[in-house]
Every structure is written in C-alpha cells, then in structure tokens.
C-alpha cells in the first residue's frame, strides 16, 4: 500500500510577518492518492501557552510527535523559540526514531519565524515569509507579491496566499486555520 496511488500528500502552511503582526495559516485538506480524505484538519496550533504558533506539513502522526517534542524543548529552554528549534533539529537529525519522521515544521513567536526540518535545518527568512508543503512555493510567491505591493495585513496576506495556492495545487484546500500573534519586529 505504499505506491503512488496511496501516498499521503502534503498540505500548505504559510507564515507572514508584517507590521506588528505575524500570521500562520494552513489548509485543512488531507489527501491520500487521488482521494480527499478530510477537509477540516487543524495543522496550525498554539504552543507554549499561546506564545508560539506552529504548523506542519507531512505525515500527521509524525507532526504530532514533533509538536510534542517542540513543546518540551520550549519548556526546557524557557520558551526561547530559536534555542528550542535548534535543539529539536539536532535531536530530529540524530535520533534513530525521529530520523524516520516525515514532516516539516514552521514555528513563530513575537520575534522569530523559523522553518525546522529533520535534516538539521533551522531557517529564518530574511523577509519574514515562510511556506512549506506541496503548495508552499505558490503560497510563498503570492505572499511576497502581496506583501510588497499591497497594504494588506499579515493575516490577510496569509489567507489570500493560501487561497491562491489552493487554486493551483490539488493537495491544498479545505478549511483554513489562521492564527496570529503581535510581532515585536
């Protein structure tokens, strides 16, 4: 059952930092091969008592494992997102069980936006915009254009970018989850 027809496809998560706001939006579609299995999955959530927002693309069980690990690292490092992300990425890359996880994470707090991967990457964008998942490049392109050429808020850009990605990527769609924080940058 691990052929192309049953492969679980990804999603689209976008983070936008603009003005005094940072927004994270994710679609709710879950697809298996050519079939949409669910339209209302919640792939974006608050961590660290609401101080961090994280989103995932990839295998759901793997992502929940990573959310739990990120939450532990945030507690361990006094809610320092950068330190927690670096430690999670190190564990993810070197731990035998975690290495098998198939997901990507984005996480933001009031000051930092990060992409965290299982290859040890912790990437902070120069322009405050990050996107992951199968529709990630479409959402990223849309967000960059909207950020530069409109007066839309971070939340409006995130939602519109996700809508544009869903009009191009067949693995992006469904209910949108959008969360925001006040940005200090």
Select from 9, 62, 15 the least CA-distant residue to 37.
9
Q: What is the pLDDT along the chain (185 residues), one digit of tens a residue?
A: 344 444 445 789 999 999 999 999 999 998 888 888 899 999 999 999 999 999 998 877 788 888 999 999 999 999 999 999 999 999 888 887 777 777 889 999 999 999 998 888 999 999 999 999 999 999 999 999 999 999 999 999 999 999 999 999 999 999 999 999 998 86
- Report the pLDDT value the prediction gives residue 107, as an integer from 0 to 100: 98
Handedness of CA 89, 95, 96, 97 (dihedral sign): negative
- Report the pLDDT value the prediction gives residue 8, as an integer from 0 to 100: 45
SS3 string, the chain, reads CCCCCCCECCCEEEEEEECCEEEEEECCCEEECCEEEECCCCCEEEEHHHCEEEEEEECHHHHHHHHHHHHHHHHHCCCCHHHHHHHHHHHHHHCCCHHHCCEEEEEECCCCEEEECCCCCEECCCCCEEEEECCHHHHHHHHHHHHHHCCCCHHHHHHHHHHHHHHHCCCCCCCCEEEEEECCC
Residue from 6, 11, 15, 119 carrying the catalytic annotation: 11
76's torsion region: left (phi>0), alpha (psi -120 to 50) or beta?
alpha
Q: For domain 12-173, is the CATH number 1.10.20.60?
A: no
Contact 10, 143 (CB under 8 A): no
Q: Where are the domains of the chain?
A: 12-173
State pTM to two decimals: 0.91
Select from 65, 60, 122 the least CA-distant residue to 98.
65
Examine the residue annotation and report whether 11 is marked as an active-site residue of this protein: yes
- Report the pLDDT value the prediction gives residue 9, as an integer from 0 to 100: 55
């Amino acid at each position: 059952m691990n052929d192309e027809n049953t492969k679980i496809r990804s999603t689209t998560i976008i983070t936008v930092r603009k003005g005094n706001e940072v927004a994270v939006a994710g679609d709710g579609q879950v697809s298996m091969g050519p079939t949409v299995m669910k339209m209302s999955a919640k792939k974006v959530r608050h961590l660290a008592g609401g101080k961090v927002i994280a989103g995932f693309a990839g295998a759901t069980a793997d992502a929940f494992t990573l959310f739990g690990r990120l939450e532990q690292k945030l507690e361990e490092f006094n809610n320092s997102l950068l330190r927690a992300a670096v430690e999670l990425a190190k564990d993810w890359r070197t731990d035998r069980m975690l290495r098998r996880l198939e997901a990507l994470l984005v996480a933001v707090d009031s000051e930092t936006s990060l992409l965290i991967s299982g290859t040890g990457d912790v990437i902070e964008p120069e322009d405050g915009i990050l996107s992951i998942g199968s529709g990630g490049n479409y959402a990223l392109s849309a967000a960059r254009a909207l950020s530069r050429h409109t007066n839309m808020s971070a939340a409006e850009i995130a939602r519109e970018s996700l809508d544009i990605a869903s009009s191009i990527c067949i693995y992006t769609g469904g209910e949108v989850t959008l969360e925001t924080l006040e940005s200090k940058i």
